[in-house]
Structure 1
Amino acid sequence: MTRIPADPRSLPAELRPYLEELVRRTLAVCGPRVVSVVAVGSVALGDYRHGRSDTDVTVVVDPSLPAEALDDLAAALAHPSLPCPAAGLELVVYPADFAARPSGEAGYLMDLNTGPLLPGRVSFDPAGSPAFWYVIDRSVAHRSGRLLYGRPAREAVAEPARSSLLGALRASVREHTDGDGHLADNRVLNGCRSVVFCRTGRWSAKRRAAQEVAASEDRFRPLLEAALRSFDRPRRFAAVLPADDVRAFLSWVAERIEETAEADRAGRG
């Protein structure tokens, strides 16, 4: 088993001690039932912004892990018991048998949100959570996850089916169009990431995706450049973007997703 990344320098310097301690505490609670611990999100995609980004972690465990261990793990990792240097920690625990197969469901054993700028939350019931967050994160984990401990991400976490990923993108755009609880710049940049996925079939860092879309879509360039400038600031200084422009852009993103889904269906016909 790999207990730390083969090259710790591949992790942001601000997060290295924290992630090493997170792995140590996870092993202390869950012991040999830990299969893999993988960094996903902005760390995996090489776009972590200190003071702005969360740190996202996927944990895969043997299904025999006792339920009470999940309570203990949540307590051991909760901020400020384990002070989170990022804006927040979003950690999801999956049973190994679920994680190893393609799925469009949430499927987790535990979902923990904690940190200085993230509302605290712990859930043990995947039925109460929108599945799209988890489908996208598992795809990122499979393709780009940075191993912190255990089996390689490609072995431990299956790639969801493309139809499930496009469905997740639809749901993501609906969520960001509503806008509740999301910064405007993040809504726009997530939309850019969805467009780049539809065009290329790959996950891109948000800023890189916005730059690609801005280069090809003149009418949205002012909005995307404003979102990029805002994204470079700490969360508390995020800019207010024109609401009508954000909705128009996300409506355009939704159309691109539907075009991609229709092309896929035609290709199978």
Structure 2
Amino acid sequence: MNRMSRDSEGPPPLPAQVGPYLRELVRRTRGVCGADLVSVLAVGSLALGDYRPGRSDVDVTVVVEPSVSGAVLRELAGALAHPRLPCPAPGLELVVYDRGFAGRASGLAGYLLDLNTGPLLPSRASFDPARSPAFWYVIDRSVAHRAGVVLFGRPAREVIAPPAASDLLAAVRASVREHTEGEGHLADNRVLNGCRSVVFCRTGRWTAKRVAAREIAACEPGFRPLVEGALAGFERPRAEAVGLPAAEVRAFLTWVRERVDEAAGAVEH
């Protein structure tokens, strides 16, 4: 079965700029993994309808049978590495899980392979989840469960379990702390991720960054100029990103942390 559809409401069309790339990625993944391949899912901005050419990475989750060997995973990393498979986006972020782990709720990173590659993304192929902060993967699996676009195989909700609420809020907390520090993150993306975190805590749903930012700008007038500046910056390619006032960004993310802490405290009690 090879279908590019979404298993949740309102599927966004996959951008034309990445369609051929994703088809070739699936072809190579099937060729390497064979019968052990369970699903290939587009996640992140592709799943949420917020992909921006020149700005967004291509995010993909792969689910395989537990019998997949380390040699196969290393072969897959090589087959998908840029420029061997030229990436049309700033980068590819691809994570492979075994079906047993992916199918149960967890607050761990838990991957078999975490591959970062692309023209603007530092190359990395990790096979040891203990070396990576877990929160990125917990959030990504939550988005994948709710909105993953099926590129091949079984639907996202059949193969990716949603994290427990406490684990997910802990992950959102850690994400906000990471963006507050700011190292290695564009200012506009830090602000938009903060908006999405607050909207998630208020509604329990993951939204596109731009949708979340418009919601925050509408209901928090004190932060509106900063959020609108982040939205304008997000329209620019990554290589042409512009800065935002550092003190305002930090103040906003401090406010975001307080909102996330309130939501986490409500769950804990």
TM-score category of the 2 structures, normalised to the smaller one: over 0.9
CA distance in 1: counterparts of 2:60 and 2:239, whole angstroms: 24
CA distance in 2: counterparts of 1:20 and 1:83, whole angstroms: 13
Whether the aligned pair in 2 keeps the contact of 1:4 and 1:20 (CA below 8 Å) is no
Residue 72 of structure 2: which of 69, 72, 76 is its match? 69
* Cα 1:181/1:54, change in 2 over 3 Å: same
Residue 204 of structure 1: which of 204, 207, 213 is its match? 207
CA distance in 1: counterparts of 2:105 and 2:165, whole angstroms: 10
What do the CA deviations read for 1:53-102 (whole angstroms, capped 9, x no partner)?
00100000001001100110000000000000011100000011000000
Residue 27 of structure 2: which of 18, 24, 31 is its match? 24
TM superposition shift of 1:11: 1.0
TM superposition shift of 1:197: 0.2
What do the CA deviations read for 1:159-186 (whole angstroms, capped 9, x no partner)?
0011111000110011001111100000
What is aligned with 2:15?
12
What is aligned with 1:188?
191
Residue 87 of structure 1: which of 90, 114, 121 is its match? 90
Whether the aligned pair in 2 keeps the contact of 1:141 and 1:153 (CA below 8 Å) is yes
CA distance in 2: counterparts of 1:104 and 1:54, whole angstroms: 24
Whether the aligned pair in 1 keeps the contact of 2:5 and 2:149 (CA below 8 Å) is no
CA distance in 1: counterparts of 2:267 and 2:137, whole angstroms: 22
Normalising to structure 2: TM-score of the pair? 0.96
* Residue aligned with 2:26, SS: helix
CA distance in 2: counterparts of 1:87 and 1:207, whole angstroms: 19
Q: Residue 105 in 1 paired to residue 87 in 2?
A: no
CA distance in 2: counterparts of 1:163 and 1:263, whole angstroms: 10
What is aligned with 1:3?
2
What is aligned with 1:168?
171
Whether the aligned pair in 1 keeps the contact of 2:12 and 2:49 (CA below 8 Å) is no
TM superposition shift of 1:6: 4.4
What do the CA deviations read for 1:209-256 (whole angstroms, capped 9, x no partner)?
001001000111110000000000001111111111111101100000
Q: Percent identity?
A: 69
CA distance in 2: counterparts of 1:24 and 1:3, whole angstroms: 10
What is aligned with 2:222?
219
CA distance in 2: counterparts of 1:206 and 1:219, whole angstroms: 19
What is aligned with 1:119?
122
CA distance in 2: counterparts of 1:165 and 1:239, whole angstroms: 31
What do the CA deviations read for 1:138-162 (whole angstroms, capped 9, x no partner)?
0111000000001110000000011
CA distance in 1: counterparts of 2:90 and 2:240, whole angstroms: 13
CA distance in 2: counterparts of 1:265 and 1:108, whole angstroms: 27
Equivalent position amino acid for 1:245 in 2: E
* Residue aligned with 1:223, SS: helix
What is aligned with 1:53?
56
Whether the aligned pair in 1 keeps the contact of 2:165 and 2:267 (CA below 8 Å) is no
Whether the aligned pair in 1 keeps the contact of 2:30 and 2:37 (CA below 8 Å) is yes
TM superposition shift of 1:9: 8.2
Whether the aligned pair in 2 keeps the contact of 1:194 and 1:253 (CA below 8 Å) is yes
Q: Residue 129 in 1 paired to residue 128 in 2?
A: no
TM superposition shift of 1:264: 2.1
CA distance in 2: counterparts of 1:110 and 1:265, whole angstroms: 32
CA distance in 2: counterparts of 1:110 and 1:58, whole angstroms: 10
CA distance in 2: counterparts of 1:171 and 1:181, whole angstroms: 15
Structure 1 gaps, min length 5: none
- CA RMSD across the alignment: 1.2
What is aligned with 2:159?
156
What is aligned with 2:238?
235
Whether the aligned pair in 1 keeps the contact of 2:12 and 2:48 (CA below 8 Å) is no
* Residue aligned with 1:47, SS: coil
* Residue aligned with 1:72, SS: helix
